[in-house]
Structure 1
């Protein structure tokens, strides 16, 4: 079976598709991956030698525009609108051309739900399209739109209002291109665009999200790398630091740190000093000079699967990938959400009892973050509950479940 994949976004949107591509290829399919990386990550390079064909569309974008600086509004809809206006719509024609090639050359296409132009390409070419979401918050009508229910009538009304706004405003260029292909514009972006009529995959752990009941939807579990795609073992400097004392707190804001690195370093360093804890901070070492700090290690990158289980807690931004990595490690979290779906994951971890109340990045200070760190370390229930959550996730095989679901669709 020939299967084409297309994704668009930052590291958390690209890396899972790399993992899925490798899983599909190992299952005997011929796989092509088209990606658009906003933070110029290198994850697709890991597919070298696997047989997966990889193409990049758009970019490199460099660091001239920070996607997370576009999150000045607290509204996820307006955050998304700003992101798409800067990074998607200017290259919509290129994205559509790449999507049309995927549809012509493959039996099935699998796309990030935000890959709007792939939806058009699949309709034009009558190619079955699978839609992928990394957060259940993105599935229209399934969960309360504001994170907590205001009642069935109010929730439904808010979904309709949000759908109307997004349908009119998010993809003006993509909509025009669709009409130029002889197709009507979507009446509902949420139901006709983001979702697929044949198969929708939610790449999230059932242990982390509420029970979902939606048509043509499979919750697969997170897509974690196979051994061949795993990052290397811990460097000796990190291993030595871990051996030298008590389990540290790890602080990382993932791809968010790519841009506002200096501010992130100032916040994290100040919080660590005020909390008085051993810590490993993930930031550009050129910024993070720590002469004389024997209890503070700065590194540019570390393999999450190897490091997180050895940490007392992890301070992170609440991206879907990092959230799952911390939960699989059995570590409690302190979540500093920056935008997009991160506030939802932050609230979810708090509701599950593995993290204190979220500390939004726009209101975070070193003192407040230090307080959250002390709370998570001094409250035994966070660590105990995190261990129980890890046990519930141990048997999940997200990639295998996704490959199986796609295979069933292909077989009809």
Structure 2
């Protein structure tokens, strides 16, 4: 079958689907991955067909941040959604039998799949279905809420998302010759299949989720087949004890103070550090600091003593897989959710939101990770569990059933 995976956003929103796509490809399917242009090389290096989506997530973040009013920011996002609608449509028109979609573009992708008369399913990297058991990722926590409050918040997230997408969805339906409807505003129907690409050991599937909603285990990034670590990195790792990793991924690049915070904390904690520059363009100076660009976390993290990160879904999973303790420094969206999970799992001290981070706080968190064996012991235990899981298997089984109809 010709399978199209649609995703939008940062590298962390793309990389896991390279692993899922390669597994489906190995089973004999033709797999294309549609993403923004800056990730074309990543997709092709993993042996998958690349299909282009318009827009640049970095520029979108900058434009929305620079907007002079909430109304202007909403207009920026509305224009992005219209472009994305056209991109999803074009990607599907290039030849598709089954459409799999990440959470972000899901409302658009479902309409496109309906327009082309093909089956679709959700492939989510964070919980995307309301539940009584916990608040939805991205929802501000104001203390312990009741199960009813959790469920209401989850439904509200879908309603707000539907409201943001409503105009773009109606225009898309018109272009595809579909009748006007308002059903997308409340989220997908209960019988629409959704697969969550994280471990049930990290987020156990809630008892009140529909039977069509699954937690499969992680979809690990495929990685380029011929990747080799830079000599400078290999030499740095060999020159002393395992360093800590510091990186904030696709965080918006407007935090110059982090250079000084990271440099001071590394010195005060008495550690060595590999710092990933990321979108924040981190470049702290120090004799025990090596600054690197993008590289596979599955290679680097097992060689570290701890990982300091923004608690994005992909980075969180990579740290757990490596069996190393974490210092979660969440910034936005689903990151506080994953940061809280790491703490509850016992592999990390209490999360520190980025706006509260100081050199002293980071120093204390690093020393806590390194001086308390319980964090590493627990991380080792969880790593053993999630490495044994076969995350793509449930998605492959679903595709196989569709192929036999």
Same fold (TM over 0.5): yes
CA contact (8 A) 1:111 1:118 kept: yes
**Given the superposition, is the C-alpha separation of residues 163 and 243 from structure 1 closer, same or farther in structure 2, using an over 3 Å criterion?**
closer
309, 316, 325: which one aligns with 2:302: 309
- How far off is 1:10 after superposition? 0.8
Rounded Cα–Cα distance in structure 2 between residues aligned with 1:56 and 1:99? 9
How many angstroms apart in 1 are the aligned matches of 2:355 and 2:394? 37
Displacement after TM superposition at 1:309 (Å): 0.9
Q: Distance in 2 between matches of 1:286 and 1:182?
A: 45
SS of match in other structure, 2:31:
strand
The match for 1:152 is: 147
Larger mean Cα displacement after TM superposition, 340-349 or 306-315 = 306-315
CA distance in 1, matches of 2:241, 2:214: 41
Partner of 1:247: 242
Task: Quote the residue 2:45 is aligned against.
Answer: 46
1:265–1:283 contact (8 Å) kept in structure 2 = no
Match of residue 194 from structure 2: 200
Q: Which residue of 1 aligns with 2:55?
A: 59
Q: Which runs of 5+ in 2 are unaligned?
A: none
Distance 2:340 2:75 in 1: 28
Change (3 A) 1:382 1:61: closer
Taking the aligned partners of 1:3 and 1:64, their CA distance within structure 2 comes to 28
Structure 2 distance, partners of 1:253, 1:54, is 26
1:110: how far off? 0.7
Equivalent residue, structure 2, for 1:275 = 269
Q: Relative to structure 1, is the Cα distance of residues 337 and 84 closer, same or farther in structure 2, using a 3 angstrom cutoff?
A: farther
Unaligned runs of 5+ in 1: 71-77
- State the TM-score, normalizing by the size of structure 1: 0.84
Conserved 8 A contact 1:272-1:278 = yes
The alignment of Structure 1 onto Structure 2 pairs a total of residues equal to 392
Aligned equivalents of 2:257 and 2:117: distance in 1? 48
1:97 corresponding residue in structure 2: 86
1:356–1:83 CA distance, 2 compared to 1 (3 A)? farther
Return the alpha-carbon distance in structure 2 between the equivalents of residues 301 and 32 of structure 1: 23
SS of the residue 2:221 aligns to? coil
Alignment of 1:393-404 (within 5 A): 393-404=386-397
Deviation at 1:42, TM superposition (A): 4.0
SS in 2 for 1:382: helix
Note the alpha carbon deviations across 1:386-407, whole angstroms, 9 max, x for none.
Answer: 1111111121222344223322
Cα separation, 2, equivalents of 1:61 and 1:383:
35
Match of 1:129 among 113, 120, 130: 120
Deviates more, 1:180-189 or 1:214-223: 180-189
Q: 1:183 to 1:149 in 2, by over 3 A?
A: farther
> Which residue of structure 1 lines up, in the alignment, with residue 349 of structure 2?
356
Question: 2:149, 2:54 → 1: CA distance?
Answer: 40
Partner secondary structure for residue 55 of structure 1: strand
CA 205–161 in structure 1, closer or farther in 2 if over 3 Å, else same: closer
RMSD of Structure 2 on Structure 1 (CA): 3.1
The runs of at least 4 consecutive aligned structure 1 residues that moved more than 6 Å come to: 81-84, 284-287
Q: Deviations over 1:59-93 (max 9, x none)?
A: 346658438958xxxxxxx9xx9988645x31434
Segment of structure 1 superposing worse, 240-249 or 331-340 = 240-249
Q: 1:407 aligns with which of 391, 400, 405?
A: 400
Contact 1:84 1:170 survives alignment (8 Å):
no
Aligned residue for 1:110, secondary structure, equals strand
